[in-house]
Amino acid sequence: MLRIAIQAKGRLNEETMALLTDAGIRVVAGKRKLMTQAIGFPMEVLYLRDDDIPQAVYMGVADVGIVGLNEVAEKELPVVEEMRLGFGICRISLAVPREVDYSGAVWFEGRRVATSYPHILQNFFKANGVNAEIHEIAGSVEIAPLVGMADGIFDIVSSGGTLVQNGLREVEQVFRSEAVLIATAGLDDDKRRELEKLKFRFRSIIDSKGLKYVLMNLPKNRLDEAIALLPGMRSPTILPLAEEDWCSLHVVINEHELWEKIERLKVVGAEGILVLPLENMIR
Ligand code: PRT
Ligand code: ZN
């Protein structure tokens, strides 16, 4: 049976739980319980702090884990990245006080930088031939320049709001991150098989994100024009209607082009258009 490590609480917890639920895996998280048995998939769920997940997976305490790629990169442990999950998207950036006249990475030469990601930062400085003093601090990195602890910071940025609030300006985007599924290297055959099943479920959920199932009625003689407008799956589904000159067309359309497509379909005579959420697309 697989054991998966997930973040007990924090930014990744909610979307991780939602991904498991969508994959038909129910987890009843008992308060203060470190581990629970999943329902709907033979799996145990281990709740950890995100910082501890790469190590737990590396040691085989958990076979797989869901954690930010930033934590995996920082820990520099040889675990296998199985799949990117498309949430928890952020970057780790260097930032300096707004008023600084920034001249490129050399600006950091001899300067102090506060961060919770010293290894990733060290690699960046090394690649750029910069010698800077890296100060590792656990939290509230963004206030370090204000209180005189550092000249700049290297921290996670998402909207950029936190930097602005603290009078800082993002100057180098060093590392891009999102939640990833990682696994212990060299899982045995049984566990590998279970993991492939899990990945198959995750993949179909990720692939269906932003997709809508669209049904419409269409005069048969405009069908070719309508099909020419529609991208996507191998061919649209066309069903006969009681009224002879009409048919019903079913297609999958991506959210971001939904309205544009619908407007054009109306021009070629589509009527009674229904847009339905698409839960899963199994390829
Ligand atoms: O308790 P535990 O150790 O498990 O959690 P934690 O407090 O260490 O981490 P948590 O829950 O804050 O974040 C978990 C993971 O979410 C991170 O490792 C990233 O992979 C991912 N993630 C995505 C983020 C953000 N977005 C994010 N915006 N992690 C942190 N932030 C913080 C950032 O540190 C900064 O303080 O949000 C602030 C910046 O946000 P903006 O939107 O103002 O730019
Ligand atoms: Zn953490």
Per-residue model confidence as pLDDT tens digits over 264-278: 999 999 999 999 988
Residue list, CB under 5 A from ion ligand 2:
50-51
Confidence grade of residue 281 (pLDDT, cut at 50, 70, 90): confident
| pLDDT tops 60 at residue 233 | no
Distance 272 CA to ligand 2 centre (A): 50
Is domain 2-88+178-207 classified as CATH 3.40.190.10? yes
Fold of the domain spanning 90-177: D-Maltodextrin-Binding Protein; domain 2 (3.40.190)
Confidence grade of residue 31 (pLDDT, cut at 50, 70, 90): low
Is the separation of the CB atoms in 133 and 153 below 8 Å? Answer: no
Closest CA to 136 of 151, 124, 118, 153: 118
Average pLDDT over residues 78-86: 97
Q: In the numeric block, which tokens belong to residue 152? A: 């700049």
- Nearest ligand to the CA atom of 143: 1
Q: How far apart, in whole angstroms, are the C-alpha atoms of residue 192 and residue 183? A: 9
Strand order across the 271-277 sheet:
237-240, 246-254, 211-219, 271-277
Q: Percentage of the chain surpassing pLDDT 70?
A: 98
Note the pLDDT of residue 231.
67
The CA–CA distances, whole Å, from 122 to 169, 176, 272 equal 20, 16, 59
Residue 272, SS3? strand
Q: Is 161 in the pocket of ligand 1 (CB under 6 A)?
A: yes
Is the separation of the CB atoms in 247 and 218 below 8 Å? Answer: yes
**Residue 252, beta-bridge partner list:** 213
The residues spanned by each domain of the chain are: 2-88+178-207, 90-177, 211-277
pLDDT digits over 108-143, tens only? 999 999 999 999 999 999 999 999 999 999 989 999
Q: In the numeric block, which tokens belong to residue 45? A: 């769920």
Q: Is 155 in the pocket of ligand 1 (CB under 6 A)?
A: yes
pLDDT digits over 37-74, tens only? 999 999 999 999 999 999 999 999 999 999 999 999 99
Average pLDDT, the chain: 94
The CA–CA distances, whole Å, from 147 to 140, 143, 144, 151 equal 11, 6, 5, 10
Fold match, 2-88+178-207 / 90-177: yes
Q: How far apart, in whole angstroms, are the C-alpha atoms of residue 39 and residue 257? A: 37
Note the pLDDT of residue 236.
82
Fold of the domain spanning 211-277: Alpha-Beta Plaits (3.30.70)
Q: At what angle do helices 189-208 and 13-22 cross, to 10 degrees?
A: 100
HSE, CB side, 13 Å, CA atoms: give it for residue 118: 9
Q: In the numeric block, which tokens belong to residue 92? A: 């780790």
- Taking the CA of residue 164 as reference, the ligand 1 atom at the shortest distance is 43
